[in-house]
Structure 1
Amino acid sequence: MSRSPHRIALLFNANKIYDREVISGIGDYLGSTRVAWDLFLEEDFRARLNGIEHWDGDGIIADFDDPAVAETLAKSPLPVVAVGSSYQDEHGYPDGIPYVATDNLKLVKLAYDHLIDVGLTRFAMYSLPVSETNRWAQQRELAFTRLVGPSGMINRGLATSPLAWNSASEQLGAWLRSLPKPVGIIAVTDARARHVLQACLAAGIAVPEEVAIIGIDNDPLTRTLNRIPLSSVIQGTEEMGRTAAHLLHQMLHGARVGATRILVPPVGINVLASSQHQPLSSPYVMRARHYIRQYACQGIKTEQVADYVGVSRSSLESYFRRELGYTVHQEILNFKLEKAREMLVTGDAPTSDIAIRCGFTSLQYMHAVFKRELGCTPREYAEREQGAATVDNQ
């Protein structure tokens, strides 16, 4: 006679990409093994604790970055696996509960090393206000200070809300204007990185020439909300979910895992325009590239870029050739091509839609640009890159 499936509760707030991908990793573990679990999640995937202590189940996987979750489950009679932040101080971890953590030091170090690689020597972090629910953000601050030293500048800003939005944006803009430049800014999440990017655009600060920005989470939703594509560290969240599911599976079959702690490193970085810093001496070229990154896919012409910068077209072309060795038109084309390549790899839209969204006048013109610049058609490029990604993941 077959056994009844174990009843497992997942306590996460899946409005965040971090939580969603941990849940996805749990699902991946179930799909790749013979484990039979009935999963309990709220219909809107938000953790609600009322009555959880009386829940008639077999085990729980939960986000312990939420102090209310950690407190409620501290004395649970059921097997519990915690998922959350890593801590420099051992006392930050719960007692006697297996814990799967994102490695904050390695997350921040990957971002920091990338900013060094693009030639930056000044660094700052945009974090979150101190609170019990933001302990993970303060851990990233500690990692930043450990790597950069006392010269690293940290701004926690204000919490976002309709009432505080204008003052938060003004404060952030003032801080950005005060920073010595060029500077690389690591934000503790993609959402905070987007705030930095918006404030830079509002203040006319060139990204990434004056301020290079990198977030953490690689959130696809956040990427679609920015005029300049946002670089981001890719957390190992799906691996965290798989690891947590494996630990709970062992516990349900009598294994004693105790206060096991497993730190999961990041997967890598999705490097996009916001952090691709290139030292430039001409302020006109910096302003022009700043404008191009925002509006290249809207079909802008060289004359519009020159008008924005405030110089004649011929002068701007001269500055570009001297600084970069190519024309303003080529810079516009390069950015449109970069955006098209990104969209082709993700496979989120038909090629004809990609051509329109990236500002090409026709699908045929995008084909011609790909053949001339990359030696292949858009379809061939997508197949090659997706095939390489499949090999890397095997």
Structure 2
Amino acid sequence: MTRHQAAQRTHRIALLFNANKVYDREIITGIGKYLLSTRVAWDLFLEEDFRARLNGIERFEGDGIIADFDDPAVSDALSDCPLPVVAVGSSYEDESRYPASLPYIATDNPKLVTLAYTHLIGAGLQRFALYSLPESPENRWAQEREQAFKTILAADGLEADIHRGLPTSAPVWNQASAQLTSWLQSLPKPVGVIAVTDARARHLLQACLISGIAVPEEVAIIGIDNDPLTRSLTRIPLSSVIQGTEEMGRTAAHLLHQMLGGARFAGRRILVPPVGINVLESTRHQPVSSPYVMRARHYIRQYGCQGIKTEQVADYVGVSRSSLEEHFRRELGYTVHQEILNHKLDIAKQLLARHDMSSAEVAVRCGFTSLQYMYAVFRRELDCTPREFQERLHRTQAQQPG
């Protein structure tokens, strides 16, 4: 076999991930992007239902494996695997938790939590809490985030308030929601709460909406994962830390590529930091002293794009329109109508930034009475049309490095 023929050989690679989770999907995306950017020829094995099924994995007649080692069953199944394996998973404070004989690509838990914490401080908050997961071998990564949270707060002389809650399952859902609501109500306000995942952040937001706790005035919420599916299920858009998952996938694929050529990386560890934060409404904390303004803004964030009027907001708050207007002028310097308009404008800008719907569709989604009215609002508030706003945004994004 010539060197050229050897270089072109197709390798059979198994990806052992639960791609029903956004974290795993984005790692797989990173692997795919590495393959597209190189001349690597891999025949990828991934279960049709995207779950990592381990039955018979020891008989996999392939050349290498990239696997999610956050799942103890996966790490156990591959403990004696003769094939080259690259492990991907959580970072650990205890070095002994890493597999000694394998290269390991880790998300940097302390940096994830630090970024979320620093963001909440920047929003003007002084009290903090964490919503985690029940302790279990499968949730070791969540407990690592708990420990990071405790360490960060201790360094600032603060005590960590952590609620693990119950597992997500239908039989205990009502009980879990009641416990979470009780915990949220017990927290001193205002407070910033970090959720160990976006799914947990959504639970927090639901509990706040049901119990009338204003988000983000009383409780500011930030998750981890930047999951678009979770964002589509919430009335108030959730801020979230963006993990470096695609970079983890690219790095894992690069290491395995080298291992297939004879390189050895036993015990090598690479920690991948977060990319940044997608800052949305759930942490745009603006302290106000009036409980009426808090409740009004809470209502507007949920229903501002559904054609509500000032009278409906006042009815929800439980005061007269004139009284609510007076509170708004005193606290914010503008009217309730302007707050509704500001909310519509913010959502319109977010939708236009996605480039996947027309201006007419955006106008309908945001509750503007007509496309012409949305154009007039953009002209008055931003000195541009919606299309010009999109073009400005596109130029700005094109000028950014990377």
Say yes or no: does 1:113 pair with 2:121: no
Q: Does 1:287 align with 2:292?
A: no
* Residue in 1 that maps onto 2:220: 212
Residue equivalent to 2:69: 64
* 2:48 is the alignment partner of 1:43: yes
Q: State the shift of 1:393 in Å.
A: 4.8
Q: 1:142 — aligned with what?
A: 147
- Counterpart Cα distance in 2 of 1:347 and 1:131: 42
Kindly indicate whether residue 178 of structure 2 is the aligned counterpart of residue 163 of structure 1. no
Q: Give 1:311 deviation, angstroms.
A: 1.0
Counterpart position of 1:323? 331
* Structure 2 match to 1:188: 196
Is 278-287 or 339-348 further displaced after alignment? 339-348
How many residues are treated as equivalent by the alignment?
A: 394
Give the distance between the partners of 2:66 and 2:392, measured in 1 at CA: 38
**CA distance in 1 between partners of 2:359 and 2:78 (Å):** 49
2:250 and 2:375 map into 1 onto residues whose CA distance is: 41
Determine the C-alpha separation between the residues in 2 that align with 1:99 and 1:381.
43
- Structure 1 residue 392: deviation in Å? 2.5
Q: What is the rounded CA distance, in whole Å, between the counterparts of 1:384 and 1:253 in structure 2?
A: 47
Q: Is the 8 A contact 2:191 2:218 kept in 1?
A: yes
Which of the numbers 164, 175, 189 marks the counterpart of 2:183?
A: 175
Once the two structures are superposed, what CA deviation does each residue of 1:50-85 show, in whole Å capped at 9, x if it has no partner?
Answer: 111110000000100000001111111000001100
Shift of 1:326: 0.9
Q: Which residues in structure 2 correspond to 1:223-262 (within 5 Å)?
A: 223-262=231-270
- Matched residue, 1:29: 34
- Aligned 8 A contact 1:125 1:144 in 2: yes
Question: What residue number does 1:52 align with?
Answer: 57
Selected match of 1:222 from 217, 224, 230: 230
The structure 2 residue matched to 1:372, chosen from 376, 380, 390, is 380
CA distance in 1, matches of 2:177, 2:168: 9
Task: Please say if 1:341 is aligned against 2:346.
Answer: no
SS at match of 1:209: coil
Query: Could you tell me how far 1:44 is from its partner in structure 2?
Result: 1.6
Does the C-alpha gap of structure 1 residues 391 and 57 become closer, same or farther in structure 2, counting only changes over 3 Å?
Answer: farther
The answer to whether 1:268 aligns with 2:276 is yes
The answer on 1:104 being equivalent to 2:109 is yes
Name the residue aligned to 1:93: 98
Amino acid at match of 1:221: L
Tell me, yes or no, if the aligned pair for 2:100 and 2:266 is still in contact at 8 Å.
no
Residue pair 2:239, 2:278 contacting (<8 A) in 1 also: yes
Report the 3-state secondary structure (helix = DSSP H, G, I; strand = E; otherwise coil) of the residue aligned with 1:299: coil
User: How far is 1:88 from its partner?
Assistant: 0.7
Name which of structure 1's ranges 371-380 and 113-122 shifts more when overlaid on structure 2.
371-380
Cα distance in 2 for partners of 1:364, 1:239 equals: 43
2:313 equivalent in structure 1: 305
Deviation (angstroms), 1:89: 0.8
Runs of 4+ in 1 over 6 A off after TM superposition: none
8 Å Cα contact 1:122/1:152 also seen in 2 = no
Q: Which amino acid aligns with 1:92?
A: R
**8 A Cα contact 1:209 1:278, kept in partner:** yes
Q: d(CA) in 1 for partners of 2:92 and 2:120?
A: 24
Whole-angstrom CA distance in 2 between matches of 1:386 and 1:252: 41
Structure 2 CA distance, aligned partners of 1:393 and 1:274?
A: 28
Residue 169 of structure 2 aligns to a residue whose secondary structure is coil
Contact 2:299/2:316 (CA < 8 Å) preserved in 1?
yes
Question: How far does residue 47 in structure 1 lie from its aligned partner after superposition?
Answer: 0.6
Please list the CA deviations of residues 225-273 of structure 1 after superposition, one character each: whole Å capped at 9, or x if unmatched. 1011111001111011001000101111111222111111111111111
Q: Secondary structure at the match of 2:171?
A: coil
SS in 2 for 1:56: coil
Distance 2:346 2:160 in 1: 31
Paired residue for 2:304? 296
Deviation at 1:374, TM superposition (A): 1.4
Shift of 1:349: 2.4
CA distance in structure 2 between the partners assigned to 1:190 and 1:307 by the alignment: 32
Give the letter for the 1:199 counterpart.
A
* Whole-angstrom CA distance in 1 between matches of 2:93 and 2:329: 49
Q: For structure 1, list consecutive stretches of 5 or more residues without a partner in the other structure.
A: none
Q: CA RMSD in A?
A: 1.1
Higher mean alpha-carbon deviation, 123-132 vs 329-338, is at 329-338
Corresponding residue SS for 1:206 = coil
TM-score of the superposed pair, with normalisation by structure 2: 0.96
Letter in structure 2 aligned against 1:97: L
Which amino acid letter does the alignment assign opposite residue 313 of structure 2?
V
Normalised to the residue count of structure 1, the TM-score between the two structures is: 0.98
